[in-house]
Amino acid sequence: MSAPEIGTAPRVLYGRRRGRSLRPGQRLLVETRLPALRIAVPRDGVLDPRRLFAAPVAAVWLELGFGGGEHLAAQAALHPEIGMLGAEVFENGVAKLLAEMQRRSLENIRLFVDDGRLLLAALPDGAVARVFILFPDPWPKARHAKRRLVSRDTLDALARIMADGGELRLATDDMDYARAMLALGTTHRDFRWCAQSARDWRARADDWPPTRYEQKALAAGRLPLYLRFARLPRAH
């Protein structure tokens, strides 16, 4: 598959870009740290994610909609050899991640502060070894279901950019969304569901750090589901 033209990616964004006003320290981080870490999508050509990092990386991982960034930061700390890409439009979440990166001295994260679908369109085939979409907005009303991030179009785009054998991790505490995720993943020709027992979707893997959204769900009595899919080998 070839990369679609960047200009053809949809630009309709649902949800907030900003919440409460940033504190002075957060604002300073956004102004001083973000420019050097921000991913710029080229208008022409394809973005080579490995060239975003000063040091060579063993692989590239991507989190779409990283929220407050706690999972992305934890993965970056656990895997300093991996180049981490994070896409998020919510300014307050970006500021929180920047603060955590500073606190942990993390150098292997780069940020895309825009519609993540634009980033997907710019990445080359097979460039990403692992993708995370964790607790995306469930948009529970039927008329809003089309706004969900996990969709057939998204899986098609991920199948193109993911390496053979790469892993897609999805999590949600909304059972309707979970059923939709499972139906999409198990019927997509390029993915295989990795579960071998019920525990595989009821419990997080040991190398899957928690998020604050998961903690909120558990506190409210909602049990999250954790879905893992493998990118099937391409036909040659």
pLDDT confidence of residue 12: 52
For residue 182, tell me if it sits in a domain: yes
For residue 96, tell me if it sits in a domain: yes
Kindly tell me if the per-residue pLDDT of 153 is higher than 90: yes
For residue 103, tell me if it sits in a domain: yes
pTM over the 0.75 mark: yes
With bands split at pLDDT 50, 70 and 90, how would you rate the model's confidence at 25? confident
Question: In this structure, what CATH number is given to the domain that contains residue 35?
Answer: 3.40.50.150
User: Where in the sequence numbering do the catalytic residues fall?
Assistant: 137
Q: Of 120 and 9, which is predicted with more confidence?
A: 120
Instruction: List, in order, residues 6 or more apart from 198 with CB less than 8 Å away.
Output: none
Instruction: List, in order, residues 6 or more apart from 43 with CB less than 8 Å away.
Output: 6
For CA atoms 227, 133, 135, 143, the dihedral sign is negative
* Euclidean distance between CA atoms 150 and 147, whole angstroms: 9
pLDDT confidence of residue 65: 95
For residue 7, tell me if it sits in a domain: no
* Euclidean distance between CA atoms 176 and 52, whole angstroms: 37
Mean pLDDT of 72-77: 98
User: Cα dist. 123→41, 128, 154 in Å?
Assistant: 9, 8, 13
101 three-state secondary structure? helix
Mean pLDDT of 20-36: 86
pLDDT confidence of residue 51: 96
Q: Which domain holds residue 67?
A: 24-231
pLDDT confidence of residue 1: 42
Q: How many domains does the chain have?
A: 1
With bands split at pLDDT 50, 70 and 90, how would you rate the model's confidence at 139? confident
